[in-house]
Structures are given as structure tokens and as C-alpha cells.
Amino acid sequence: MKKQNLLAIGLMTFAMFLGAGNIIFPPFLGLEAGTQFFPAMLGFLVTAVGLPALTLIVLGRLNDSGQLTQALPKPLGVTFWVLLFIAIGPAFGMPRAVTVAYEMGIKPFFTGDHLMLFSALFVGATLLLAFQRGKLVDYIGKVMTPLLVLMLAALALAAIITPLGVLGDPSASYQNKAITSGLIQGYMTMDAIAAVGFGWVIIKAIRDKGCESAEDVFQATLKVTLIYALLMSACYLAMAYVGATSTSIAEGATNGGELLTRYVAAIFGPLGQYLLAGIIIMACLTTTVGLTNACAEYSQQTFRIPFSISAIIVTAMTGVVANFGLEQILAISLPAILILCPVAIALVLAAWFLPTIKRNTTSYVSIVMISFVFGGLDALHILGLLSESLSTPLTRYVPLFSAHASWFLPVVLAVFISLLLNRQSRVVKASAEV
């Protein structure tokens, strides 16, 4: 594959991941980390960038995202994919992008409620770009992403040249456990689940640019993932540094969006709000286009539904759901996202260490069920739905429960046991053949 095509696909991958949340969350993290900025960001990048990167690498090695669930019984595998694409697509991920783009990109400039009109225009633009399947890399990777990177660079350079404060004292959670707190916050971005969905688009884009053999696809995926990881890490560090050096204007700020709004107003004046609006709208649009393509690609490959029909349905549902408001979207969809994320990561870990073939069905089903049960407990804990009589002993006796990752060690143990059994089975088979 030509280097310029690899770069374009890498830029497209970065842009699809770079939603508004990836921009507005790090500033507040940087502010809270204060003088513990570097250890906190180290932990954050391991999970916020490392987990999605690992997912893309595994999917590249499989050469087909559908292979991730190949060892599962077909009904269970299809159920996983359908729930995942509904959650990251029209039920949660895409409507959230629409509402955030409106709240931060449009609402500050107008009086009254124009969400319905904006959502119709936004999903229309999403659909128009999604229909350009063969040109998706060109539109997003070669045009939209460079513009987005330039706008983000303007914010980062301003923070370096004219910081609005010095690194302050870290908050309580970052004083003694900065790396651990960063790891937790990075995991909570839930980008690993988005990586599973985006894999369908990225691998197809690689194949469309001339990679045919499994080895070529894998090598191209490695390079694309490296480009994504470098750009996303730079973006996170830059946005976190903006927040960390904004102590003079941070009093009373409760989230990264509010902090960024104050920052651009202080540095760039009235034009700052237009810059921030452009960044947020562009970031949300590239994400919704990527998610629309991922949902439609899956529907076409699995259910033979024409791409255009799937894309229309997904964007239409997104427009409708977006008008229910962000709080309602979060209340309904967040539990599913919180449960699906550990299941997705568990499947990635299993695919990394175990062959994705039918004779491993028992192992894969066991790993999925373990991640589902413990992931469900973590979800209830995050949502505050566990009684104190239950959460207290779980916090005391279940490793990583307080970090909302009680599923991790049981899943790793299940993968390790399955790996040993798999190797033992091969040895016994080899001995019998001799």
C-alpha cells in the first residue's frame, strides 16, 4: 500500500475515534491531576489509547472483525454484534455526538431551542458523507482530519506559549494514586468498544486500497494503529495540558467543556467560541460518519441489507433519539455500554491468546459469561444501583471492584486456564497420532 494511503487511513481512524468527549474530558482530568500530571496521563493513555490500539491490532490479525466471535455459537455472536452496534450507533454513541455538537457548537450562538432542526441537518450531513463509501478515506482522512488537527494544534500552542496558570495541587484521588486514577479514567472512555465497531470500516478501507493477503492486511493495520495511537496520545496530552495550566480561570468549573469554553474566551476572545464550535462539530461529525459506516457494513455483511438502506435507518433513528435529550440517552443506554465494554475486551483478549475456531466454543462462552456477570456488577456499581450491604463486601473481597474493573482478573484467569487446556489438548492429540 502507498504511504499516502496508509497515512490517510490512519488520519481517518484518528478522526473517527476523536469525538467531543475525547476533547472535553482531558482538560478536567489535567486540572484535577495538577502536579501529578505526567503519572496520571501515563495511566490514562495506557487504557484510553492502549486498549483501543490492542483491539485494532487483534482485529487486523484476524483479518475480519467478524472472526472475533467466530468461536461463539452463531446466535450468541450475532446478539453481541447487534447489541454493540445499536449501543454505539443510534441508541447512544451517535445521538450523544449530535446533542454534544448542538450544546457546545450551536446553542451558545442562538436563543431558543433548535435541536430538532440541527439534528436533522447534522444526520443529513452524516448520511451524505456515509454514502461516499469509496471516498470516505479521502473526505475524512485527507480533508476533515487535517483541518481538525490544525484547530486542535492552535489550542495546544496557545497553552504552551501563554498558559493561564501553573500546575496546581492534585485532587484527593490523584495525590497518592495518580497512575491508578489515570488508568481508571482511561478505561471509562469506553473507546475499546468503539474500536470493535470501527474495525469493520478500517479493515475494509485497508482492503479497498489494495491489500489482499492476510499478512498485508495485518501489517497495514499495525501501521494505521500506530498513526492513530500517536495522534490520539498527542491530542489527549495537549487537551489535558490546556486544563492543567488553566488554574487562573478554573474556579467553579465542573467539567471539561466548561473549562475549554472559558479557556478559548480568555485566549482568543470572541473568536474563541467559534474555534471551539468548529472543533466540536467537526469531531462529532467524523465520529457519526464512522459509526454509520460501521453499522451499515455489519448489516450488509451479516444480514445482506443494502448499505444505503441500513445507513438511512441508522441516521434516521439517531435523529429521533437525539431529540430526547442527552440525560435520557445516558440513562437508558449507559448500562448496556458499561456491560458490553468488558465483554468486548474479553473477546479481544481471548482472540489474542486462543484460536478463534469452533472447538474453542466452550472456552469462549465461559469467558463471555464471566465478563458479562462481573461487568454487570461493575455497571450496577457505577450507576449507584448496588445496595451498601452488597457493595461493601464486594469492595473488600473482589479485586479491582472499587476501580470498576472486577471483571478483569477473572477473565484473565479464564483465558489462562483455556490456554493451558488448549495446549494440553494439542499435546494429547499429537501423542495419539504418533
- Residue 232 belongs to a domain: yes
pLDDT digits (tens, 9 = 90+) for 334-362: 778 889 999 999 999 999 999 888 878 99
What cell does 259 get? 473549562
184 and 276 co-located in one domain: yes
77: domain CATH number?
Answer: 1.20.1740.10
- Residue 164 belongs to a domain: yes
Which is nearest to 155 in space by CA: 248, 271, 52?
A: 271
Residue 92 reports pLDDT greater than 90: no
Q: Would you say 419 and 354 are in contact if contact means Cβ atoms under 8 Å apart?
A: yes
Contacts for 267 with CB less than 8 Å, ≥ 6 apart: 158, 162, 164
Residue at which a domain ends, from 289, 322, 355: 322
For residue 434, what pLDDT is reported?
54
Task: Give, in degrees to the nearest 5, the angle at Cα 169 between 164 and 171.
Answer: 115
Question: What pTM value is reported for the model?
Answer: 0.91
What cell does 151 get? 484547530
What cell does 19 get? 469525538
Residue, of 432 and 305, whose pLDDT is higher: 305
- Residue 329 belongs to a domain: no
For residue 326, what pLDDT is reported?
63
For residue 433, what pLDDT is reported?
62
Q: Would you say 221 and 60 are in contact if contact means Cβ atoms under 8 Å apart?
A: yes
What's the average model confidence in pLDDT over 304-333?
86
Residue 124 reports pLDDT greater than 90: yes
283 and 380 co-located in one domain: no
For residue 70, what pLDDT is reported?
93
Distance CA 142, CA 402 (A): 43
Q: Would you say 11 and 4 are in contact if contact means Cβ atoms under 8 Å apart?
A: no
- Residue 73 belongs to a domain: yes
Residue at which a domain ends, from 300, 322, 344: 322
76 and 195 co-located in one domain: yes
98 and 154 co-located in one domain: yes
Which is nearest to 327 in space by CA: 19, 95, 23?
A: 95
Number of compact structural domains in the chain? 2
For residue 188, what pLDDT is reported?
83
User: Any idea which residue has 458479562 for its cell?
Assistant: 372
For residue 325, what pLDDT is reported?
67
Residue 217 reports pLDDT greater than 70: yes
313 and 362 co-located in one domain: no
User: Any idea which residue has 478515506 for its cell?
Assistant: 137
- Residue 274 belongs to a domain: yes
Residue, of 226 and 177, whose pLDDT is higher: 226
Residue, of 257 and 348, whose pLDDT is higher: 348
Residue 327 reports pLDDT greater than 80: no
92 and 239 co-located in one domain: yes
For residue 179, what pLDDT is reported?
94
| Length of the chain (residues) | 434
293 and 371 co-located in one domain: no
For residue 330, what pLDDT is reported?
67
Q: Would you say 159 and 245 are in contact if contact means Cβ atoms under 8 Å apart?
A: yes
pLDDT digits (tens, 9 = 90+) for 35-56: 999 999 999 999 999 999 999 9
Residue 156 reports pLDDT greater than 90: no
For residue 427, what pLDDT is reported?
67
315 and 358 co-located in one domain: no
CA distances (Å), origin 46, targets 97, 234, 334, 408, 420: 24, 13, 23, 15, 27
In a 13 Å sphere around the CA of 246, the CA atoms on its Cβ side amount to: 35
For residue 252, what pLDDT is reported?
86
396 and 299 co-located in one domain: no
In angstroms, how far is the first alpha carbon of the chain from the final one?
44
Average pLDDT across the chain, whole number: 90
Domain extent at residue 348:
334-434
For residue 209, what pLDDT is reported?
87
